[in-house]
């Protein structure tokens, strides 16, 4: 046996063959392209402002400066826009949901039987409003009720009626499709506490839609399975209950009848819908539901409607509608996205109506519009918002 010299150098390998130069060039070019592509894609994504799946604002590009804060700010902005991001996010979200049945987002919860639930912008809506494991402080109840009362009293001093309507969360109306581990708290919910405090005060016209929606769901589906909102069936139920309260709040004879709500025809196998929750999870092409009350058909058919939008979108956050039927009242309506299917219904009842995407009541707007009634619509998870955004004194 030849002894091994531990200090000797290893043999020099033979030189690489030179008979495939184009292969080496191609591999190097593909590698360089793969490294450069995420940055090159910024040509089309540079001015994007909203992420496709998280439904949030993108991190803004920082102003160039020699500061320690520039690098992390640039990294956050780049991470929201680099090429291939949407593909990778979709692959990640879909793999988690299909393989393990879990959501990649803390704001979206898969339920049973194809149902998905929105947990609020902070991911705590279910815990706060259903399970009772996150606090809804009594000071928030008191602040909301006090602000509703302030708005009502100020409007009443001008001879303007005021009605508040709260749209329940999907888990409030359809708790049976939540995961089995989710249990409802036995304590009164924030919705209950606000409603009871308003009832004790007795001054604010408050519409609780929960009984009407629970009754209606025994006959038809009133919320989307794959979306965070109610469907048009639910909106019609809410509209009819709200307008009964509006008629009572207005002076006698101010509104002689409630405009009827259309009922769009559902065609099985043709009408389907992909909601915002499955889009946020990156699954719109794989998951869909029957659109049992197609809102698109209502919006697309304007032949039987009097109300027309009279602004051209030049005032962000405001929408103006007018109907030329004589004798109708005027209205200002504070709203969120739950009111989208209500707009074509409510607008038929007013000569002029302004929809405002805000929780804050603007005194100047009211004094300028001189409405006969102010309607405040808000979703259950926003019950704290009026108290946090009081009317200017």
Give pLDDT, residue 54: 66
Radius of gyration for the alpha carbons in the chain, expressed in angstroms and rounded: 28
Structure tokens, 238: 């809410």
3-state secondary structure of 354: strand
Predicted confidence band of residue 284 (pLDDT cuts 50, 70, 90): low
Relative orientation angle of helices 190-201 and 138-157, to the nearest 10 degrees: 40
What distance in Å separates the CA atoms of residue 334 and residue 340, rounded to the nearest whole number?
12
Percent of the chain with pLDDT over 70: 95
Dump pLDDT digits (tens) for 85-113: 777 777 777 777 777 777 888 899 999 99
Question: From CA 57, how far away is CA 51, in angstroms rounded?
Answer: 6
pLDDT digits (tens, 9 = 90+) for 153-199: 999 999 999 999 999 999 999 999 999 999 999 999 999 999 999 99
- Quote the pLDDT of residue 279: 86
Buried b (16+ CB within 10 A) or exposed e, 311-348: eeeeeeeebbbbbeeeebbbbbbbbbebbbbbbbbbbb
Q: Using alpha carbons, list the distances in angstroms from residue 185 to 130, 134, 188.
A: 6, 11, 8
In contact, 380 and 194? CB cutoff 8 Å: no
CB environment 196-226: b (16+ within 10 A), e (fewer): ebbeeeeebbbbbbbebbeebbeeebbbbbb
What's this model's pTM, rounded to 2 decimal places? 0.83
Secondary structure (3-state) at 332: strand
Q: For residue 266, how far is the Cα from the chain centroid?
A: 24
pLDDT at 1: 62
Per-residue confidence band for 226, with pLDDT thresholds at 50, 70 and 90? very high
pLDDT at 168: 98
Calculate mean pLDDT across residues 265-274.
90
pLDDT at 347: 97
Q: What mean pLDDT value characterizes the chain?
A: 90
- Structure token pair of residue 308: 């027309």
- Inter-CA distances, 279 with 167, 295, 356, Å: 23, 18, 26
Average pLDDT for 132-152 = 96
- Helix, strand, coil shares of the chain, percent, nearest 5, are 40, 10, 45
Backbone φ, ψ for residue 12 (5° rounding): -75, 125
In the predicted model, is pLDDT for residue 221 greater than 80? yes
């Amino acid at each position: 046996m030849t002894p091994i010299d531990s200090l000797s150098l290893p043999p020099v390998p033979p030189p690489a063959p030179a008979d495939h130069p184009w292969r080496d060039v191609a591999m190097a070019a593909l590698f360089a392209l793969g490294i450069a592509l995420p940055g090159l894609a910024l040509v089309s994504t540079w001015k994007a402002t909203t992420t496709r799946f998280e439904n949030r604002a993108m991190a803004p590009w920082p102003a160039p400066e020699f500061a320690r804060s520039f690098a992390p700010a640039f990294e956050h902005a780049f991470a929201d826009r680099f090429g291939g991001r949407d593909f990778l996010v979709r692959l990640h979200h879909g793999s988690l949901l299909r393989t393990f049945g879990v959501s990649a987002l803390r704001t979206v919860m898969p339920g049973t039987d194809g149902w998905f639930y929105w947990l609020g912008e902070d991911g705590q809506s279910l815990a706060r409003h259903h399970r009772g494991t996150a606090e809804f402080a009594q000071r928030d109840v008191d602040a909301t009720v006090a602000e509703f009362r302030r708005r009502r009293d100020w409007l009443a001093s001008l001879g303007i009626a005021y009605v508040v309507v709260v749209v329940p969360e999907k888990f409030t109306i359809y708790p049976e499709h939540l995961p089995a581990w989710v249990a409802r708290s036995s304590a009164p919910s924030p919705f209950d506490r606000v409603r009871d405090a308003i009832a004790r005060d007795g001054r604010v016209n408050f519409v609780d839609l929960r009984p009407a929606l629970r009754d209606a769901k025994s006959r038809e589906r009133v919320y989307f399975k794959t979306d965070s909102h109610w469907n048009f069936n639910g909106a019609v139920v809410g509209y009819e209950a709200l307008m009964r309260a509006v008629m009572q709040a207005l002076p006698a004879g101010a509104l002689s009848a409630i405009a009827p709500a259309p009922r769009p025809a559902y065609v099985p196998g043709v009408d389907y819908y992909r909601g915002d929750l499955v889009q946020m999870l990156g699954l719109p092409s794989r998951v869909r539901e029957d659109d049992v009350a197609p809102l698109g058909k209502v919006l697309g058919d304007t032949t039987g409607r009097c109300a027309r939008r009279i602004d051209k979108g030049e005032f962000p956050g405001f929408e103006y509608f007018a109907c030329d039927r004589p004798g109708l009242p005027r209205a200002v309506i504070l709203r969120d996205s739950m009111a989208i299917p209500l707009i074509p219904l409510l607008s038929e009842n007013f000569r002029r109506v302004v929809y405002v995407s805000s929780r804050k009541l603007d005194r100047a707007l009211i004094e300028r519009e001189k409405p006969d009634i102010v309607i405040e619509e808000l979703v259950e998870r926003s019950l704290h918002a009026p108290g946090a955004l009081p009317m200017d004194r």
